[in-house]
Amino acid sequence: MVTTMQTTTHTLTIGCSSSGGGGGSGGGGVPSSRGGGGPPGGAANLRGGHAGGGAKLVGNPPQVYNGDCKKTQLFMSQWDIYWGLNYTIDIMAQPYTQVLCFLSYIQGEDIQDWVTHELCWL
């Protein structure tokens, strides 16, 4: 069962409950800003500034996540890599569109209510 945890900053947490309880209210926020600005690991911005609005996302996008708890860590790792490659592209540099992009990779009957809740929160 997929559960989420809410903090005062409304940071997204996707996890699994071993008790099999309900989903609860969701997190949200910027999906991969775990260490603040810049790519994971704190690497310097080698591209210099934000790319223009016509720039395309690069790298392999994460596989669609369907709420399977066994694949949560894989999905989050894939997202971190994808975000790290694209954090200067406008869609990823703007928190609102970054969250929409992140949520677009979360699909399925078991998790759709959570996605809808997060969309409403935005």
Q: Tokens at residue 94, please?
A: 């703007």
**Which structural domain, as residue segments, surrounds residue 62?**
2-29+57-121
Q: Is residue 81 part of a domain?
A: yes
Domain presence at residue 52? no
Amino acid at 64: V
Of the two residues 12 and 33, the one the predictor is more confident about is 12
Cα–Cα distance, 71 to 114 (Å, whole number): 17
- Is 1 in contact with 69 (CB distance < 8 Å)? yes
Q: How does residue 55 score in pLDDT terms, banded at 50, 70 and 90?
A: confident
Total tally of structural domains belonging to the chain: 1
Instruction: Specify which residues 2 forms β-bridges with.
Output: 16
Between 50 and 66, the higher pLDDT residue: 66
Q: What is the pLDDT of residue 47?
A: 46
Q: Whole-prediction pTM value?
A: 0.65
Q: Judging by beta carbons within 10 Å of its beta carbon (0-12, 13-18, 19+), is residue 101 exposed, middle or buried?
A: buried
Whether residue 74 has pLDDT greater than 70: yes
- Residue 22: the pLDDT is 43
pLDDT: is 119 or 5 the higher one?
119
Q: Say if 89 falls within a structural domain.
A: yes
Residue 106: pLDDT band with limits 50, 70, 90: very high
The torsion of the CA quartet 24, 30, 35, 39, rounded to 10 degrees, works out to 140
Mean pLDDT for 87-98 is 94
